[in-house]
Structure 1
């Protein structure tokens, strides 16, 4: 950040890590990036977790969303190209030092170096804000043409860093606003013990996120929202500044969507291999017994994190006695480089079944799988004759629930949390089941209601859920609507 600072650094032989190597030998151009004439150059960001590793660490549905959305936007004539901005820690740079990679024609991934051993948790991003801004300005400034629109998601310091980069680069800023953290602040901290250091720190973090969200709304040239049960009008109550936009109706809400699932040429063989591997044992934590192949199965996919509440799902499954009539498969988490949250969650899951060996044989804990394999497994479960399967989302809340949409698209009946944005598209008893996930008891009640449904009713809900996704939530439709938003915001003054 210091003018002429490079001269103060030591030689390359003394560089301790990939970050210092890049400071000493910065990239001089992005010659491999070529944009189409006309159209907008669009930048979108995912600064927590890895883009190609959904379910690992902090990577979740957003990585899947931005991959498909970027590819779809890049194929449109309205876009000169798409840049997806991610971060790269010391470990990431040691594994791959390249800062720019082409995903698909017209869609590039630009990695902003982070001076940290591994990707920091969201609450620690403040110390990296200046560095992220500097790298974003430097790397995006080397593109063959200026970025027209920068779209950031998440109310955190990493997004604020890119907002500052957008100001310096002279491009328009679009921010996706959500009711969280405003919506949950009073409930989450109503009984906070301010003498408890952790409770006080959690409150400080949530208040800071409220502050950051307010700043991003203020600085954005356009705000889009994730719809909840009441649409986006709820956002206006949390962000009074939005009253002056769109005549107080709330921001536009392009529907998030999932790419159409494309079967592989050897799809049948791959599906059989997945199911055979899943039901290949039962004596270890990653498999189920072959004899349980005709037992009803509950599937849950997501990163291992307290807000996803996999531990509460296992406890409810055990204490309700559902382990006697169903199997439970959890997919998510890294086993190579687990985060503290992942290690804690795995320990809690293993502790829950340690004293119940018969139940443990009906629980499979799979590490995060590539998205293609997750969707292939869901299609295999949904279309297997004689196998009754459900997809369960036990999260405390979901702002949208992309994994839920993927399960619905596959034809699995879905039971999901009623907190957050899922009730916007999932209607209880119509195209799925909404459950109260606030406690182990209420979650168990929801699971029992779900599994008690007769086969015809379960299949009817699954078919209705699949129609919901195919008719309303395609990534192509999302790209079309966002392209119009980007074109409109490009005309607004800086």
Structure 2
């Protein structure tokens, strides 16, 4: 059979990424063959424990076989002992007609939460379009026996995605019940916000939003009701002035504010810094009237912002909170916020619109939600495309850490398959694609993503990221002024940290590393590289900037534990290690300048900057370090390899191991010790000439203007033809 031959080809395919990309071919063959025999062949492949990767491909191929026996197998998989098979079955069911005996199992997946719960919820939402009452009754039945608050809120949230009389009645009852658990009530109120035209829903939401009424027993329910009023159209919309564009950009996994006060904590990394600086730069251009930067935030603040939208019309760059109605979670574990993210993004874009262009970055739940909203509202999307997770899959494959035998187990945590498909969808739906500069860009995109950019060059634009050079220049002036007696608070803070070290460590140069405490950023690897080398240890102190040390997230705690392990093996290193925690961007800029120029008797001059990231698509912090005149240690792949002059302005190394970082630090300290003005000028010059945020904004303005104009012309064409195709 052709299906057997297709499976054999997948099993013989040497690279994991090529198997993932070829899975559609298997699904196509399965859809053509169909029938009991095809189901049997795929079922055997699914239960092959030695090849989890092909098993996943077989699950999705089975989803394309429209046969009762295929439904039976997929339904059984929803209760499989392997979580990766459960989640892929829940996903595959979304492309099929409702299967009533699978509904209860999908509801059970929602109760279990996590990534599988999100996929099951999405499938139930799709099935609810054709069988709303059946889905609603199943969810109501589950609520009767479920008392755990989180599970109840997820069930109610799913109920809010289902149309029809049964779901509407249930949502109103839960929303009005002051004895109901708060999270479930909030979910019900949010669900009522989706039911435009339902006068009973509108009256109830208005009553709850009226603080002091019997129905409003907590601030959370009041805030949820105020947001639902926005969703129901019971709030003023922003008034637009000017002919320029309104551009929206988002990163939901950060707490973004104008002062970047949370930079380096949790997922508040380089992207958060970039969006603040870039938004300001875009808003200063003649062709752009407003920039909306969306990130997670408080429900009450969001309600205050959107209910007074008409007062925001004159703001050039607005920071708009998107309430996710749950405790902040790391980016990789935020998939459960999909529904709240969609609602929050939709209400912001509608209330503060019209929006001409939405710029998305990263294959995460925020981009997934925003892409769906943009499609619904008819907003064109620009997508910044990077080979992630593709490059990670290939690297782990080559290293032997990811194999066909463990792919499913790893995929449970990292969701490589889903993210790969999400990148495909985001790229396909985008009106225009922005690319980072990379060595051999065309070859990498062809090899990793199967994209030939030469086939439609008008679809792609290479745009380097950029930094606000004025911030670094001001920092350098502050460090120089401090030498003349000026009081600079940021430098006093650095002095205080170094003063806490033993006396013999004071006056040494610094090796500075800035970023999130996440395994991808390699902070523990940097500490190991420095601590395990006697010469490095004697030559410099190591300052790690980033992370919430007072209340670390699980990812941050994992890195802190790894650093503790290094210090147990190398106890003397504790004398010269400073864990500074996250600091505002302006403070970090001054520490970068002090690392090169020194700070009194405590910090020696001619220190270095170290980036230990496993991957760095471009590297905002690296650019800031170069702009400060520092010698940088960076990954030898990705964006940095396009602008770091190896052996001159920095050292390119394999950051996948401590030995590579160790060599880079040693070489960088030797280069820095020569204190050559020509090297400093070259480092600062390349940033000034090519990588300012103003240059980035100008390049993106051209992209946005083209996309908006193309959409306007398409609309005119549709209007002139009466919408006919």
- What is the match of residue 246 of structure 1? 456
Match of 2:515 in 1: 302
Residue 242 of structure 1 contacts residue 250 of structure 1 at CA under 8 Å; is this kept in 2? Answer: no
1:110 equivalenced with 2:323 (yes/no): no
**For 1:463, which of 677, 681, 685 is the aligned residue?**
681
Give, in angstroms, the shift of residue 455 of structure 1. Answer: 2.9
Q: Corresponding residue for 2:222?
A: 21
The Cα offsets for residues 122-176 of structure 1, whole Å up to 9 and x where unpaired, read as: 3334332233222222232122x41110000001232011011111111111100
How far off its partner does 1:371 sit?
0.2
CA RMSD of superposed structures (Å): 3.1
TM-score (norm 2): 0.61
Q: Which residue of 1 aligns with 2:350?
A: 141
In structure 2, the residue matched to 1:404 is 622
Query: What is the deviation of 1:114?
Result: 0.7
Secondary structure of the residue aligned to 1:141 is helix
Instruction: Tell me the residue number matched to 2:552.
Output: 338
1:40 aligned to 245, 248, 259, which one?
A: 245
1:158 aligns with 2:366: yes
Tell me what 1:257 maps to: 466
Residue 271 of structure 1 deviates from its aligned partner by 6.9
Match of 2:129 in 1: none
Shift of 1:431: 2.1
Task: Give me the whole-angstrom Cα distance separating, in 2, the residues matched to 1:242 and 1:125.
Answer: 32
Q: 1:417 aligns with which of 621, 635, 639?
A: 635
- In structure 1, C-alpha distance between the alignment counterparts of 2:449 and 2:566, rounded to whole Å: 42
**Residue of 204, 208, 212 corresponding to 2:422:** 212
Distance of aligned partners of 1:310 and 1:43 in 2 relative to their CA distance in 1, 3 Å threshold: same
Matches within 5 A, 1:333-412: 333-354=547-568, 356-384=570-598, 387-412=605-630
- In 2, the alpha carbon distance for the partners of 1:273 and 1:417 equals 33
SS of 2:351's partner is: coil
User: Secondary structure of the residue that 2:469 maps to in structure 1?
Assistant: coil
Please state whether the residue corresponding to 1:55 is helix, strand or coil. coil
C-alpha distance in 2, partners of 1:404/1:172?
32
Kept after mapping to 1: 8 A contact 2:594/2:605: no
Q: How far, CA to CA, are the matches of 1:237 and 1:19 in structure 2?
A: 49
State which of 392, 400, 413 in structure 2 corresponds to 1:184: 392
User: Residue 437 in 1 paired to residue 650 in 2?
Assistant: no
**Does the 8 Å contact 1:78/1:483 carry over to 2?**
yes
Q: Which runs of 5 or more residues in structure 1 are unaligned?
A: none
Deviation per residue, 1:28-86 (Å, 9 max, x gap): 47769564410111101111122132201011001111101111111112012111111
Q: In the superposition, relative to structure 1, how do residues 203 and 325 fare at CA in structure 2: closer, same or farther (>3 Å)?
A: same
Task: Find the counterpart in structure 1 of residue 127 from structure 2.
Answer: none
Alignment pair present for 1:129 and 2:338: yes
Larger radius of gyration: 2
* Cα distance in structure 1, aligned partners of 2:243 and 2:313: 21
Q: Structure 1 residue 470: deviation in Å?
A: 0.8
1:314 to 498, 506, 527: 527
Q: Which deviations, in whole Å up to 9, do the C-alpha atoms of 1:229-272 show, x marking residues without a partner?
A: 1245532444445547634x882112210012343897745775
TM-score for the superposition, normalised by structure 1: 0.88
What secondary structure does 1:491 align onto?
A: helix
Contact 2:630 2:672 in 1 (8 A): no
Task: Pick closer, same or farther for the CA change 1:356–1:278 going to 2, 3 Å.
Answer: farther
Q: 1:204-250, CA deviations, whole angstroms, 9 ceiling, x for partnerless residues?
A: 61121110000000111111111111245532444445547634x88
Q: Measure the CA separation in 2 of the matches of 1:488 and 1:280.
A: 51
Equivalences for residues 323-334 of structure 1 within 5 A: 323-334=537-548
Task: Give CA deviations for 1:309-344 in whole Å, capped at 9, x if unaligned.
Answer: 111111111111111221111000013432101112
The 1:357–1:239 alpha-carbon spacing in structure 2 relative to 1, beyond 3 Å, is closer
Bigger drift between 189-198 and 208-217 goes to: 189-198
Give the distance between the partners of 1:95 and 1:337, measured in 2 at CA: 23
Question: Which structure features the higher share of helix residues?
Answer: 2
CA–CA distance in structure 2, aligned partners of residues 320 and 356 of structure 1: 10
Name 1:278's counterpart in structure 2. Answer: 494
CA contact (8 A) 1:192 1:199 kept: no
Q: Which has the higher contact order (CA 8 A, sep 6+)?
A: 1
Partner residue in 2 for 1:235? 445
Is the Cα contact below 8 Å between 1:398 and 1:421 reproduced in 2? yes
CA contact (8 A) 1:148 1:171 kept: yes
Secondary structure, in 3 states, of the residue corresponding to 1:294? coil
Answer whether contact 1:298 1:390 (CA < 8 A) is retained: yes
1:317–1:31 distance in 2 versus 1, CA, 3 Å: same
Distance in 2 separating the partners of 1:80 and 1:30 = 23
The size of the alignment, in residue pairs, is 485
Distance in structure 1 (CA, Å) of the matches to 2:706 and 2:301: 40
Distance 1:469 1:141 in 2: 38
CA distance in 1, matches of 2:414, 2:609: 35
Please, which moves more after superposition, 419-428 or 125-134? 125-134
